[in-house]
Amino acid sequence: MIQLLAAQSPIETRRLFLRVLEVADAEAFRVMTDEPVITDNIHFLTTPFTLADAQRLIEGDGGGRDCFWGVWRRDNFTLIGTVGTHLKGTDEIEIGYWFAGSAHGHGFGTEAVAAMLSAIREVYADRQILAECRPENNASWRLLEKVGFRADGRDGQRVGRRRLVHSRSP
């Protein structure tokens, strides 16, 4: 039996606190996500991103194979982003993320994704970790490379995206 993503323990870094989003977080999640820079680039988000949309994503399919983690700043407990973790089949786990525009350019994404990768490796050591990214999304592509992802030459499952695979040593 696999350990479900929603059963993972919270994660703390120097500046951030990550934990599985709960329905009580839905309004903060809606506010953080309802930015065109986010909703225009994440294929499964609607514009506007409503409270019902936020609740639906947080609740997931109930199977525990998909999980959205909130990323809060530790200094002011503001929700600034999310990292999604998705079990794929029996041998892969996919991650994705988005951050509020106000959080861009401060290294929060790199810090959160690196912490999530470390946590994933502890629990799912045998799974390949992958991500998908549009090649023209330079900031996201650089973030993924910085934390150890490399393009594997394959198209992603989503139109216009390339698949990247995490190497254990960036």
Span 84-109, mean pLDDT?
95
Q: What is the pLDDT of residue 32?
A: 98
Give CA–CA dist 30/52, Å, rounded.
9
- pLDDT(57) > 80: yes
The whole-number pLDDT of residue 63 equals 74
Per-residue pLDDT reduced to its tens digit, 149-166 = 999 999 999 889 999 999
- If one counts every other C-beta atom within 10 angstroms of the C-beta of residue 77, the result is 9
* Residue 6 vs residues 84, 113, 157: alpha-carbon distances, Å: 11, 17, 24
Mean pLDDT of 62-71: 86
Domains, the chain, in order of start with CATH, read 10-166 (3.40.630.30)
Write the pLDDT tens digit of every residue in 5-56.
667 789 999 999 999 999 999 999 999 999 999 999 898 999 999 999 999 9
Residue 158: which of 137, 138, 131 has the closest Cα? Answer: 131
What is the percentage of the chain residues whose pLDDT exceeds 70? Answer: 94
Q: pTM of this prediction?
A: 0.93
- Give the span between the Cα atoms of 93 and 66, in whole angstroms: 10
**pLDDT the model gives residue 169:** 59
Decide if pLDDT at 102 tops 80.
yes
Task: Round the average pLDDT of the chain to a whole number and report it.
Answer: 92
Q: Please state, in angstroms and rounded to a whole number, the distance separating the CA atoms of residues 170 and 164.
A: 13
The C-alpha atoms of residue 48 and residue 146 are separated, in whole angstroms, by 32
User: How far is it, in rounded angstroms, from Cα 163 to Cα 152?
Assistant: 6
Report whether 73 contacts 112 (CB < 8 A).
no
The residue that leads in pLDDT, 17 or 65, is 17
The pLDDT assigned to 6 comes to 67
Is the pLDDT at 123 greater than 60, yes or no?
yes
What is the pLDDT at residue 64? Answer: 74
The secondary structure of 113-149, three-state, reads: HHHHHHHHHHHCCCCEEEEEECCCCHHHHHHHHHCCE
